[in-house]
């Protein structure tokens, strides 16, 4: 397993990626909602304009949970576990039951989907099969692609959107753009529009410069500054059940030697949770890649939001 959310990688992309795991689909949900797709799918979906995007789905039930990865991470990011041997999570005796990856665990109770944005890299180092697009890309472009993909694949809402890092900005903007189909959010150490204020001006400039300097060919590169403008003109976020999970193991963007960005990251997480009236889970025993380091915690958060949506 290649875990890419190191401090150096975080300085540029805030990302991790993983490998896929297959489990049986779950029985249909009995709630009175429009029936989503069921069964297993894994392959390219034509979304128009000659473009295709990779989509993986399994399970059945409503709402449909959609996983959105961090910068450079594909669908397999949500099917990754820490590699500690014998299938045990970090720090667990081999005799304890193995923890399931988030994607497979949530699929036992509802429909789940994950996808590859253009320019991401899979856990084995190979490029995604999704059609490349010019980089950098904004959160709104991510929203438009996700909407086109779900529509073309007939993966119907309502949705609970789960976004990690850069993917967290995409799902936040999706919720503002498509409130009629968004019924819940789970943000996994998500990037935040509050970061520009919580970082010093020097840190913000250095981070934006690091991202720009790391751009390479068709590889995914987030356009943060235009994305902030997109949020400024977007509608207010819908009032839906929301959980914000934040890392509590210090890591740093490494853009200002001698001055850690960790306090600013924590401050932005708190501001994000408060602005969304979210449940804030800050005791995670995890670094930036919570869905890999503590998958059971992310699964529990998603299932809590799904249960609240169903009972609403």
* HEC per residue, 196-260: HHHCCHHHHHHHHHHHHHCCCCCCCCECHHHHHHHHHCCCCCCCCCEEEECCCCCCCCCCCCCCC
**pTM for this prediction:** 0.87
Q: Tell which residue, 279, 281, 248, 277, has the closest CA to residue 265.
A: 248
The mean predicted confidence, pLDDT, of the chain is 87
The answer to whether residue 206 scores a pLDDT higher than 70 is: yes
Which of 18, 36, 39, 209 has its CA nearest to residue 125? 18
pLDDT-wise least confident of 14-18, 196-200, 221-225, 258-262: 14-18
Rounded average pLDDT over 33-50:
83
Side-chain half-sphere exposure of 256, counting CA atoms within 13 A: 15
Q: Where are the domains of the chain?
A: 7-311
Fold of 7-311: Rossmann fold (3.40.50)
**pLDDT at residue 267 tops 80:** yes
Q: Quick one: average pLDDT of 206-210?
A: 96
Lowest mean pLDDT among 41-55, 251-265, 291-305: 251-265
Smallest CA-to-CA distance from 11 within 262, 272, 311 is with 262
**Are 53 and 147 within 8 A, CB to CB?**
no
Q: Compute the distance between CA of residue 82 and CA of residue 165 in angstroms, rounded to an integer.
A: 18
Q: What is the mean pLDDT of residues 229-244?
A: 98
Cβ contacts of 89 within 8 Å, gap of 6 or more = 81, 82, 98, 99, 295, 296
Residue 28 has pLDDT above 70, yes or no: no
- Give pLDDT tens digits for 126-142: 999 999 999 999 999 99
pLDDT band at 84 (very low <50, low <70, confident <90, very high): low
**Beta-ladder partners of 267:** none
CA dihedral (290, 294, 297, 298) positive or negative: positive
User: CA dist 14 to 6, 227, 239, Å?
Assistant: 8, 16, 27
**pLDDT on residue 312:** 85
Share of the chain above pLDDT 90, in %: 78
- Looking at the predicted structure, is the pLDDT value of residue 17 above 70? no
Using an 8 Å Cβ cutoff, are 52 and 70 in contact? no
């Amino acid at each position: 397993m290649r875990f890419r959310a190191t401090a150096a990688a975080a300085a540029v992309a805030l990302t991790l990626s993983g490998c896929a795991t297959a489990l049986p689909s779950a029985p249909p949900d009995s709630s009175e909602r429009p029936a989503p797709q069921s069964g297993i799918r894994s392959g390219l979906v034509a979304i128009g304009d000659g473009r295709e995007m990779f989509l993986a789905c399994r399970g059945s039930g409503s709402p449909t949970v959609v996983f959105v990865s961090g910068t450079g991470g594909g669908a397999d990011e949500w099917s990754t576990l820490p590699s500690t041997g014998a299938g045990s999570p970090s720090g667990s005796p081999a005799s304890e039951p193995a923890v399931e990856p988030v994607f497979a665990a949530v699929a036992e109770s509802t429909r789940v989907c994950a996808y590859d944005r253009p320019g991401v890299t899979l856990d084995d180092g190979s490029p995604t099969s999704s059609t490349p697009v010019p980089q950098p890309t904004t959160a709104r472009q991510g929203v438009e692609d996700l909407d086109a993909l779900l529509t073309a694949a007939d993966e119907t809402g309502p949705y609970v959107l789960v976004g990690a890092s850069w993917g967290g900005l995409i799902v936040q903007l999706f919720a503002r753009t498509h409130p009629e189909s968004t019924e819940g959010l789970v943000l996994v150490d998500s990037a935040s529009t509050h970061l520009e204020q919580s970082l010093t001006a020097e840190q913000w400039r250095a981070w934006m410069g690091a991202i720009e300097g790391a751009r390479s060919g068709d590889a995914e590169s987030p356009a943060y500054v235009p994305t902030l403008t997109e949020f400024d003109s977007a509608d207010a976020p819908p009032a839906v059940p929301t959980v914000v999970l934040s890392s509590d193991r210090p890591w740093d963007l490494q853009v200002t030697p001698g001055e850690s960005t960790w306090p600013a990251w924590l401050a932005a997480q708190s501001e994000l949770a408060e602005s969304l009236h979210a449940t804030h889970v800050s005791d995670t025993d995890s670094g930036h890649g919570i869905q890999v380091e503590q998958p059971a915690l992310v699964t529990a958060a998603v299932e809590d939001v799904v249960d609240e949506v169903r009972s609403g």
